[in-house]
């Protein structure tokens, strides 16, 4: 038959080529076309930086019509890993391609939204070479750590986001990259490490990484353009659908129960409150006291909070759940009314009081779970949900440029004059997208906010539709504060020590304000805030282990409760005396002036009197006066060197531990160097031995650091 292939019959009823002699010919069945891999773009993010980077890559993927899973590593990344490792019953035999961005928190810990993924990746369930995909976990041709790009069950690209001023800089990304390679996954591109300390910030490493990823996706899925900028002019549907709904009367109220408790009923205009399973709850500010001198440049507050009942029928407990020294309270702040009013003036074409229904548009983006059920208003969103006080990232300018150009949206016509001005704004926005130096000069160095940026681009802002707000703006992230009080057995209140961030910039006329610290400072007694108790990263040793605590400035906060627990409460049963059984504690505290910012001074002095054999305080004042007992300025690292013999004795003879808390930067490294000097001078070790000992102590938790920028 014309155009047909004749297959000779097989001898002995067998398939040709299987033996049996005769004139059989071997059949050559064409291999089925290789399926493209399953693409997953995921993030592990604490502050939103890694999430924003992942979203940029996701926008590239969806602008080219790629089928892609997107979400946190705990949501979608773990599915890719489990599928590749055959941990899930699945008929999906495709290779998994995972593009991931992750940050590092605390003592080299993964962010909360990638901890399940992290535990699986590090678990013994996954054996060496299990991601090879060649039918064996061991192969001479494909040794562990060198997964083949065509046979590996998992290919991945990974970028870490961190700050090199921290000693555990990008620890999570480095360890995860090594682990996945050991399991036999194929690293499709070199590990990228983004650094906040780079001159151009994280973009200095992220943009080359994004170009590498876009080229990989172009080659893998045969899309037409390999440039990450190719999605700038591509129409992208909104992440959410936003519709106006009929206005409803606010259900927010407060009233007093028979037990004289003030109850907060949360409704459409109340504070942002995520679902109960997230652990968030409402708290009421009991006291807000300035603890620095009025003439001191730094305004620091001691804020006391208690749980706020939210139901008259079943009010919430009046006690906090038990917490330990080193635990933190996360606070969800709101934007100031002045900032909201200013932005509403910029967005005057949008009604701030219309109730909105936010529904799913993109399958990877379910509606935010913490919006009011009755529907938020624009004013509520700008007050409680969107972060309008942060410094905008490059993705913000990409989205605003697309909005200004009307890509994918119907936009109103403009006058010739406005059209010319709009073109100038679009050109300027494009410069920020293409040139990271220009972006750094405009945004990063002066710390210009989102609200101020929109004010600088009024015509572009006038084209923002409600449905595009969720594309353009990012949710407010919680801020964590070390708890500065004892609450081991439950308590009705807890304390936070909050340094208010407010400073003037030569590049901006208005002062720069920290969102959460100013939010708390302005909240008077009776104000309600949204909070969540979280386990801290500090691991407090047993009370019989000597401790060296180093806490300059507000870094002293977690040590207040820790010292109380070790020495000021009953350690055991019944009539045992307070402090009995506890080892010695040596605290190093540093501040500027003993009369202006000596936090918890009365507590430290009283405890020194009560427990002279168990508690010792060493102070360092960087701006001393003649009556302070200190003639020259010094810092905590100087005092550690002065008391090096005591430090070495506690650590070497007593088997003690070190905990450092405070601002990142030079302090943690200077303190580490001072402790190393104490071990060298007074412990009989050479520098290499002392450095190796401290490195091992950091690995085992005997030397811990809790620092922040």
pLDDT at 155 over 90: yes
Pairing mode of beta strands 154-162, 96-103 = parallel
Nearest Cα residue to 162 out of 91, 236, 113, 104: 104
Q: 């997230």: which residue's tokens?
A: 278
* Dist CA 200 CA 57 (whole Å): 19
Measure the N-to-C terminal CA separation of the chain; round to a whole number of Å. 79
| Distance in angstroms (rounded) separating the CA atoms of residues 360 and 367 | 6
Q: How many residues does the chain have?
A: 709
pLDDT > 90 in the chain, percent: 62
Using pLDDT thresholds of 50, 70 and 90, give the confidence band for residue 253: very low
DSSP string, 421-467: HHHHHHHHHHHHHH-HHHHIIIIITTT--HHHHHHH-HHHHTT--GG
pLDDT exceeds 70 at position 174: yes
The pLDDT tens digits of the residues spanning 30-84 come to: 444 467 899 999 999 998 999 999 999 999 998 888 999 999 999 999 999 999 9
643-646-650-651 Cα dihedral, nearest 10 degrees: 50
How far apart CA 568 and CA 549 sit, in angstroms, is 17
Half-sphere exposure of 334 (CA within 13 A, CB side): 21
pLDDT in tens, 487-545: 866 689 999 999 999 999 888 989 999 999 999 999 999 999 999 999 988 899 999 99
Contacts of 621 (CB under 8 A, 6+ apart): 590, 591, 592, 593, 594, 628, 630, 633, 634
Quickly list DSSP for 375-418: --BHHHIIIIIB--SSPP-HHHHHHHHHHHHTTTS------HHH
| Residue 581 near residue 543, CB atoms below 8 Å | yes
Please report the beta strands in 592-676, taking only residues with DSSP state E, as ranges in sequence order: 615-621, 657-663
Q: Reply yes or no on whether the pLDDT at 183 is more than 80.
A: yes
What mean pLDDT do residues 142-148 have?
A: 53
Q: pLDDT-based confidence at 4, cuts 50/70/90?
A: very low
Low-confidence winner among 91-95, 319-323, 332-336 (lowest mean pLDDT): 91-95
Q: Is the pLDDT of residue 131 over 50?
A: yes
3 state SS of 549: strand
Q: Is the pLDDT reported for residue 356 higher than 80?
A: yes
What pLDDT was estimated at residue 598? Answer: 96
CA distance readout (Å), 209 to 101, 158, 227, 601: 11, 9, 12, 49
Q: What is the mean pLDDT of residues 585-594?
A: 95
Read off the pLDDT of each residue in 648-666 and give the average, rounded to a whole number: 92
pLDDT digits (tens, 9 = 90+) for 359-398: 988 888 888 888 888 899 999 999 999 999 999 999 999 9
- Distance CA(550)–CA(208), nearest Å, equals 39
Distance CA 501, CA 514 (A): 5
What's the DSSP call for residue 320?
Answer: B
Distances (CA, A) of 108 to 118, 166, 172, 358, 676: 12, 9, 6, 37, 21
Q: Which of 284, 388, 379, 376 is nearest to 335 (CA)?
A: 388
**pLDDT tens track for 6-22:** 333 333 333 333 333 34
Cβ atoms within 10 A of the Cβ of 19, count?
Answer: 11
Instruction: Indicate the range of 183-197, 298-312, 464-478 predicted with least confidence.
Output: 298-312
**pLDDT reported for residue 271:** 87
- Identify the pLDDT of residue 129: 87
Is the model more confident about 10 or about 172? 172
For residues 99 and 39, the answer to whether their CB atoms sit within 8 Å is: yes
Residue 664 has what pLDDT? 79
Query: In this predicted model, what pLDDT tens digit does every residue of 196-238 receive, in sequence order?
Result: 988 888 999 999 999 999 999 998 988 765 565 556 677 788 9
Q: Chain-wide mean pLDDT for the chain?
A: 85
The per-residue pLDDT for range 282-333, each reduced to its tens digit, is 999 999 999 999 999 999 999 999 999 765 444 555 789 889 999 999 999 9
Task: Check: CB of residue 394 under 8 Å from CB of residue 203.
Answer: yes
Residue 250: its pLDDT value, please? 46
Q: The tokens of 596 are what?
A: 């202006």
Q: Could you report the per-residue pLDDT of 268-287, keeping only the tens digit for each? A: 567 898 888 889 999 999 99
What whole-number distance in Å separates Cα of residue 105 and Cα of residue 50?
12
The continuous run of DSSP H or E covering 220 comes out as helix 203-221
Q: What's the rounded mean pLDDT across residues 420-435?
A: 94
The answer on pLDDT for 554 being more than 60 is yes
The pLDDT assigned to 575 comes to 35
Max mean pLDDT among 88-97, 115-124, 150-159 falls in: 115-124
Q: What is the pLDDT of residues 389-416, one digit of tens each?
A: 999 999 999 999 999 998 766 666 677 7
- pLDDT tens per residue, range 258-267: 334 444 444 5
pTM attached to this predicted model: 0.85
Q: Which domains does the chain have, with CATH numbers?
A: 38-231 (3.40.50.360), 272-333+478-534 (2.40.30.10), 337-472 (1.20.990.10), 547-571+578-708 (3.40.50.80)
């Amino acid at each position: 038959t014309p155009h047909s292939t004749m297959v000779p019959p097989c001898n002995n009823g067998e398939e040709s080529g299987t033996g049996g002699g005769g004139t059989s010919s071997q059949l050559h069945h064409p291999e089925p076309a290789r399926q493209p891999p399953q693409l997953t773009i995921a993030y592990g993010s604490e502050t939103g930086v890694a999430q924003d980077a992942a979203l940029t890559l996701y926008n590239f993927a969806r602008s080219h019509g790629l089928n892609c899973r997107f979400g946190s590593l705990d949501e979608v990344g773990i599915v890719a890993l489990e599928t590749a490792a055959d941990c899930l019953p699945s008929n999906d035999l495709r290779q998994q391609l995972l593009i991931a961005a992750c940050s590092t928190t605390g003592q080299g810990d993964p962010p909360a939204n990638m901890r399940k993924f992290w535990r699986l990746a590090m678990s013994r369930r996954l054996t060496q070479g299990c991601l090879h995909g060649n039918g064996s976990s061991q192969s001479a041709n494909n040794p562990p750590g060198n997964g083949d790009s065509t046979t590996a069950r998992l290919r991945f690209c990974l970028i870490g986001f961190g700050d090199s001023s921290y000693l555990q800089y990008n620890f999570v990304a480095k360890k995860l990259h090594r682990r996945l390679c050991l399991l036999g996954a194929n690293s499709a591109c070199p590990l990228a490490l983004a650094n906040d300390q780079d001159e151009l910030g994280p973009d200095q490493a992220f943009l080359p990484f994004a170009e590498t990823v876009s080229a990989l996706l172009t080659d893998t899925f045969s899309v037409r353009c390999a440039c990450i900028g190719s999605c700038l002019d591509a129409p992208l549907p909104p992440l959410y659908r936003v519709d106006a709904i009929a206005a409803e009367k606010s259900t927010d109220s407060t009233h007093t129960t028979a037990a004289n408790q003030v109850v907060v009923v949360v409704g459409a205009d109340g504070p942002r409150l995520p679902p109960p399973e997230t652990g968030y709850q409402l708290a009421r500010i009991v006291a807000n006291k300035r603890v620095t001198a009025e003439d001191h440049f730094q305004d620091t507050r001691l804020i006391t909070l208690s749980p706020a009942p939210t139901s008259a029928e079943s009010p919430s407990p009046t006690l906090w759940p038990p917490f330990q020294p080193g635990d933190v309270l996360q606070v969800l702040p709101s934007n100031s009314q002045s900032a909201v009013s200013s932005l509403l003036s910029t967005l005057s074409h949008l009604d701030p009081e219309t109730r909105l229904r936010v529904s799913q548009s993109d399958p990877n983006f379910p509606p935010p779970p913490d919006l009011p059920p009755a529907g938020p208003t624009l004013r509520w969103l700008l007050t409680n949900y969107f972060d309008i006080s942060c410094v905008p990232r490059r993705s913000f300018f990409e989205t605003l440029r697309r909005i200004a150009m009307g890509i994918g949206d119907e936009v109103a016509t403009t006058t010739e004059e406005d059209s010319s001005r709009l073109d100038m704004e679009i050109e300027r926005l494009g410069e920020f997208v293409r040139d990271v130096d220009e972006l750094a000069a405009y945004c990063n160095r002066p710390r210009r906010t989102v609200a101020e940026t929109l004010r600088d681009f009024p015509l572009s802002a006038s084209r923002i539709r409600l449905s595009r707000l969720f594309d353009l703006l990012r949710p407010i992230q919680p801020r964590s504060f070390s708890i500065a009080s004892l609450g081991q057995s439950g308590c009705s209140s807890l304390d936070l020590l909050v340094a208010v961030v407010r400073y003037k910039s030569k590049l901006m006329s208005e002062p720069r304000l920290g969102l959460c610290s100013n939010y708390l400072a302005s909240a008077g007694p009776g104000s309600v805030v949204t909070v969540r108790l979280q386990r801290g990263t500090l691991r407090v040793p047993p009370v019989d282990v000597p401790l060296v605590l180093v806490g300059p400035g507000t870094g002293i906060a977690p040590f207040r409760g820790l010292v109380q627990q070790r020495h000021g409460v009953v350690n055991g049963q019944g009539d045992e005396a307070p402090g009995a059984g506890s080892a010695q504690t040596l605290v190093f505290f540093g501040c500027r002036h003993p009369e202006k910012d000596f936090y918890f001074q009365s507590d430290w002095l009283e405890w020194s009197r009560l427990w002279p054999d168990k508690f010792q305080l060493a102070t360092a004042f960087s701006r001393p006066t003649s009556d302070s007992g200190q003639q020259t300025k010094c810092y905590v690292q100087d005092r550690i060197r002065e008391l090096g013999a005591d430090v070495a004795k506690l650590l070497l003879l007593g088997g003690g531990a070190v905990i450092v808390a405070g601002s990142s930067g030079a302090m943690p490294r200077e303190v580490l160097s001072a402790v190393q000097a104490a071990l060298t001078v007074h412990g009989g070790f050479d520098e290499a031995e002392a450095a190796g000992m401290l490195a091992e102590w950091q690995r085992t938790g005997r030397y811990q650091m809790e620092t922040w920028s």
